[in-house]
Structure 1
Amino acid sequence: MKAWCVVLVVAIIAQVLAWAWQRRTGNATLVDAVWAFGLGVAALIMAWLGEGATLPRLLLATIAGLWSMRLGLHLVKRVLGESEDGRYAYLRQHWGNDQRKWFGFFMAQALLIALFALPFVPVAANPEGDFGATDVFAIAIWVIAVVGEWRADAQLAAFRANPANRGQVCRVGWWRYSRHPNYFFEWVHWFAYPLLAWGAPMAWLAWLGPILMYIFLRWLSGIPWTEAQSLRSRGDAYREYQRTTSMLIPWFPRSPR
């Protein structure tokens, strides 16, 4: 667990710097990008300091690192090109410029980096050094998840870039079948790590990834926050979208009234 402690320290330092940037700019959206990049760095640290076979550590560094880079760059682009995310702007209305609350929020995000790095622990300790079926399935899941999330993000970005769609609900591509396809593919991505940890000591720890991600997306920081903001900004149009479209897992839309 030495590597995990290193991850925790790095995450705290990164989020302190992000909090300082927020304090200067009045924009907290950077916290999401730091979370994404932080998990990629966590995977690299785990892979470097892990005591397992070379193959699972190399796969961990590769798939988590590339996933982190894609998502982090996507979020940085939003930070630089858009105003503060509506979720954080809403918090700012309630907290104002109380930097004690904002600092606590950023530190909580640092703890989440460490929490979501726990599934990497058994992968980095996996003694199985032969490339097998579980590795093939892990890579396949990762490819499907990353391509799906990239496509969903691109569809939403293109929709928002069109001024004619201002205030409208995106129903393009994956967004026709799920209200949160980006979150769905993000969740799917975490199923790769239990496969990479197959046969490792404490392999069960890798299942914390998909379990915790579903809990956070479904009930805590993902869907509830995003949908509350969408209802504030889009009103009845989004309520109709909620009625006709699956919340997370893509499925055929229900007929409108």
Structure 2
Amino acid sequence: MKYFKPLIPFLLGCIVLFISNNFFEFTLINGLSQLLLFILVVNIPAKLTGRMSYVDIGWPLGLALIGLLVLVYGQGADTKKWLAAILFLFMGLRMGLMALLYLTKGAFKRELPRYQYQKLRWDKEGKANVNLAMQVEILVQAFANMSFLAMPALLIAWNPNSTFHWLEILGIGLWLLSYGLESLADKQKNSFISMNVKAGDRRALCNVGLWRFSRHPNYFFEWMVWNSLVVIALPSVMALWSTEPLVIMLGLVGVLLMASRVMFTTLVYYTGAVPAEYYSVQKRPEYKEYQRTTSMFFPKKPKF
């Protein structure tokens, strides 16, 4: 049971979507599509290689798949269907195509550090069957795409109102700002690494630009991207409120809010900040001082 416990919240999220009046058909089609995608792109390669880094390909492509499916099956106004589709396609294809590029460059020939850390966690939890633990963790990612992470797209694409609510405009602005700052953080780090590699220093500590205010600004702004999706979806909750029984509608609101919680947990504890810092402390002696002076996740003025 300890192997399958992480799946339970995501299964509950899927059940809420299945029993809703609006989302049964989409949830069924999306569920089968996500399973097929993950089995082919992640589960089978993980079984053959013993590495679960292929999640970095399957998960974002699953987001892009959500974007395509809401465009086809969404029952709201065309403006809202296109909005949901564009946002999810943009996020998914950007990360997915980048992961495929890394694959062609041989980056997946060894396990990525964040997934190496997963195996340390399984050992601590007494999960001796690494194969089973790995396959279940991959399915957790697939079921996230079937439930909590699909919820913002579903609500937006089922909104019957073609005009834009002020909350939707606010959310779109927040999405653009957050996405832009996440991209800036990635660019700053890549430029810093490239410059120091050319100088022969592969272990230099990146604390420039946005990295002066947070040790993981890219993860923070990725979380804010998801929070902006929740904001964009809020007017849809109001528009669809009368189409579902109260208990189901409350369940759908809970699933929506869990998108933010799931991404926060993932980006901080699961495959984000904590795993990255486990190895950074070992590689870079000055990293402990960086931890003392700089906020881990939420950007703040550094301490000196």
Query: Is 1:250 aligned with 2:299?
Result: yes
In structure 1, the partner of 2:140 is 108
Runs of 5+ in structure 1 lacking a partner? none
| 2:90 corresponds to | 66
Q: TM-score, normalised by structure 1?
A: 0.86
Aligned residues with identical type, % of pairs: 30
Find out whether 1:183 has 2:204 as its counterpart.
no
Does structure 2 conserve the Cα–Cα contact (< 8 Å) formed by 1:53 and 1:125? yes
What does 1:74-93 correspond to in 2, within 5 Å? 74-81=98-105, 82=107, 83-91=110-118
Cα distance in 2 between the residues matched to 1:63 and 1:207: 18
Code of the residue aligned with 1:103 in structure 2: it is Q
2:203 corresponds to which residue?
167
Q: 1 CA distance for matches of 2:277 and 2:239?
A: 39
In the other structure, the counterpart of 1:147 is 180
Pairing 1:240–2:264 present: no
Which stretch shifts more, 95-104 or 154-163?
95-104
Aligned length: 254
Contact 2:117 2:275 in 1 (8 A): no
SS of structure 2 residue aligned to 1:134:
helix
Is 1:135–1:196's contact at 8 Å kept on the other side of the alignment? yes
1:32 aligns with 2:56: yes
Deviation at 1:134, TM superposition (A): 2.9
**Offset of residue 26 of structure 1:** 4.7
- Work out which of the two has the higher radius of gyration on C-alpha atoms and give 1 or 2: 2
Partners of 2:74 and 2:81 within 8 A in 1: yes
Distance 1:55 1:111 in 2: 28
Indicate how the Cα distance of structure 1 residues 253 and 74 shifts in structure 2: closer, same or farther if over 3 A, else same: farther
Q: Describe the SS at the equivalent of 2:207.
A: coil
For 1:119-161, what per-residue CA distance to the aligned partner results, in whole angstroms no more than 9, with x for missing partners?
2222122121113433322221121122211221222223333
Segments of 5+ residues of structure 2 without an aligned counterpart are: 1-22, 241-248
Deviation of the 1:98 alpha carbon: 4.5
Q: Select 2:239's aligned residue among 179, 182, 200.
A: 200
Quick check: 1:193–1:206 contact (8 Å CA) kept in 2?
no
Shift of 1:61: 0.4
